[in-house]
Amino acid sequence: MVSKTIQTQPFTDQKPGTSGLRKKVSVFQKPHYLENFVQSIFDSLQGYQGQTLVLGGDGRYYNRQAIQTILKMAAANGFGRVLVGQGGILSTPATSAIIRKYGTFGGIILSASHNPGGPDGDFGIKYNIDNGGPAPEKVTEAMYQRSKEIDSYKILEAPDVNLDTLGKFNIGDMAVEVIDSVADYAELMQSLFDFDRIRELVTNGQFRMCIDSLHAVTGPYAHNIFEERLGAPQGTVTNGTPLEDFGGGHPDPNLVYAHDLVEILFGENAPDFGAASDGDGDRNMILGRRFFVTPSDSLAILAANAKLVPGYSSGLAGIARSMPTSQAADRVAKHLGIESYETPTGWKFFGNLLDAGRATLCGEESFGTGSNHIREKDGLWAVLFWLNILAVRQQSVEQIVTEHWQTYGRNYYSRHDYEEVDSDRANNLITSLRAIAPNLKGKRYGSYEVEYGDDFSYTDPIDGSISQKQGVRIGFTDGSRIVFRLSGTGTQGATLRLYLESYEPDPAKQNLDPQQALAELITIADEIAQIRALTGMDKPTVIT
């Protein structure tokens, strides 16, 4: 087999966002586009000769083709071995687990997460380092710089390999192992949770649950864990076969896109528990019977109940949340007497805290929760954590959440997304907010008084690296907050995210609809940022 060096021209738009490089499939299909970025990844790494890479993706359209290309490029660039998921399938958390378990050099994950798939949908690629987590900013920045100057890439001239049969073979001098996509991950889950107790719950004939994989990557994992290992009835997992276009759906586990599950859980004779995951399996939505758990509350509740779960029974070192995530978890940390950390959006910022043993649980408002068991957020892990708590406490999801609010107070929370806003308009809005924010202190809006306004800047407590311009925050004297930032995962125009949070300590006032509870803050946000005027949109496109 011949290794070839192919001449190429750089692309100017290969800057990784919040979680890797995401573009329309048609962009990735341009000649040399994928190859340029993969070579830019390899060129920014050091010492990978002869080392092992993990490779897999969420099964979306172009996953298989990209894997064939990356295998041949890894071989031509001198990797010693690649572990690739069967059929090219590896969820994001499973990839992280495999990197850690086998101590590999790193991994490549092919996914655009919750973005729709198919020939007209999105594709994405992300590099994870040897701790199993997303490459930190300095690494992704190096990849981007390299992509702007690259003039050639290396690839082996070789036939495509069979990804569907487990086994070992060689491409050139490089070993390839097609591995079971599920086994290592499922074993890790079994080591953290009380499977016997969860099995009793899900097979007792009374408790009913529904796990919706939205035709994305978690299907095989969910079938294996819930139906085979835990014995839940066949049919517990729905939409459990990964499809290249996710069945035409939007694999985002929220009240808007996981509507079939929502209808079941809010319908007649609803089951006790429902959950959904996203395209690449790192997000989760938790539902009780006619009850929705906000992701921010979920993080706080997992933390408050961690002692009930074998993998966490010895206590938590600390809790980290992304800045826009509600402060509910901070209250639990305070109660437990442990540290809480506020990081910029994106899982890569948790890596150092987890590696240093400073944080045990981490979470984001965007339906992401995880722990030090891997270095990614983990959808099915969160589902198992909830089931473990339910099995021990023998209460409903609603009872557990409302009791939590009674103890800690309720952080009303909502995110309003304005999608496909013209990029210039969105940038203008944020730029003017950055200018206004620091001058708002002391200003009154209705019943609220501004305590601070700034553009969030984060100094990593472990390596001292600084990340600036991570979102404009406006905090009020009663602890309420409004946060504005632009999405770093979209592929079309800009998405403005408005995050709203207020705090209600009085149990008698804790059962409002969040949109109602936050109504005044919603009006204030528009008054300060002029969202409607500047975006030209009169309401958000998605509310979660």
Residue 158: what are its φ and ψ, rounded to 5°? -155, 155
Residue closer to Co ion, measured from CB, 282 or 330: 282
Does position 327 interact with Co ion (CB under 5 A)? The reply is: no
Q: Which of residues 267-296 bind Co ion (CB under 5 A)?
A: 278, 280, 282-283
One of 254, 345, 371, 467 touching ligand VG1 (CB under 6 A):
345
Query: Maximum Cα–Cα distance for the chain, whole Å?
Result: 73
Structure tokens given for 238: 């729905």
For the window 258-287, what string marks contact with ligand VG1 as x by the rule CB under 6 A? --------------------x---xx----
Q: How many residues bind Co ion (CB under 5 A)?
A: 5
* CA within 13 Å, CB half, 261: 33
Coil, strand, or helix at residue 525?
A: helix
Q: How far is the CB of 18 from ligand VG1 (least distance, A)?
A: 3
CB 513 within 8 A of CB 291: no
Does position 114 interact with ligand VG1 (CB under 6 A)? The reply is: yes
One of 346, 351, 363, 453 touching ligand VG1 (CB under 6 A):
346
One of 40, 366, 414, 480 touching ligand VG1 (CB under 6 A):
366
Q: Which of residues 108-137 bind Co ion (CB under 5 A)?
A: 113
Q: Counting every residue, how long is the chain?
A: 544
Residue 259: what are its φ and ψ, rounded to 5°? -65, -35
- How deeply is 314 buried, as exposed, middle or buried, from its count of CB atoms within 10 A (0-12, 13-18, 19+)? exposed
Residue closer to Co ion, measured from CB, 276 or 338: 276
**Beta pairing class for 237-238 and 542-543:** unpaired
**Beta pairing class for 318-322 and 339-343:** parallel
Q: Which DSSP state fits 256?
A: T
Q: Binds 64, which of Co ion, ligand VG1, none (CB < 5 to 8 A, cut-off by type)?
A: none
Does position 147 interact with Co ion (CB under 5 A)? The reply is: no
Structure tokens given for 415: 């995110």
Q: Binds 489, which of Co ion, ligand VG1, none (CB < 5 to 8 A, cut-off by type)?
A: ligand VG1
Which of 306, 330, 317 lies closest to 382, judged by CA?
Answer: 306
Residue closer to Co ion, measured from CB, 223 or 283: 283
Q: How many CB atoms lie within 10 A of CB 157?
A: 11
For residues 51 and 347, give the distance between their C-alpha atoms in angstroms, rounded to a whole number.
25
| C-alpha of 265 from chain center | 23
Q: Binds 272, which of ligand VG1, Co ion, none (CB < 5 to 8 A, cut-off by type)?
A: none
Residue closer to ligand VG1, measured from CB, 17 or 247: 17
> In the beta sheet, which residues pair with residue 444?
449
Q: How far is the CB of 486 from ligand VG1 (least distance, A)?
A: 8
Q: How far is the CB of 363 from ligand VG1 (least distance, A)?
A: 9
Q: Binds 271, which of Co ion, ligand VG1, none (CB < 5 to 8 A, cut-off by type)?
A: none
Return the H-helix or E-strand segment holding 426.
helix 423-436
Q: Which DSSP state fits 105?
A: S
Q: How many CB atoms lie within 10 A of CB 270?
A: 18
For the window 463-492, what string marks contact with ligand VG1 as x by the rule CB under 6 A? ------------------------xxx---
Residue 387: what are its φ and ψ, rounded to 5°? -65, -40
Does position 18 interact with ligand VG1 (CB under 6 A)? The reply is: yes
One of 91, 113, 305, 535 touching ligand VG1 (CB under 6 A):
113
Q: How far is the CB of 370 from ligand VG1 (least distance, A)?
A: 11
> For this structure, is 480 an active site residue?
no
Site residues for Co ion per CB under 5 A: 113, 278, 280, 282-283
Site residues for ligand VG1 per CB under 6 A: 18-19, 113-114, 278, 282-283, 322, 345-347, 364, 366, 368, 487-489, 497
Catalytic residues: 113
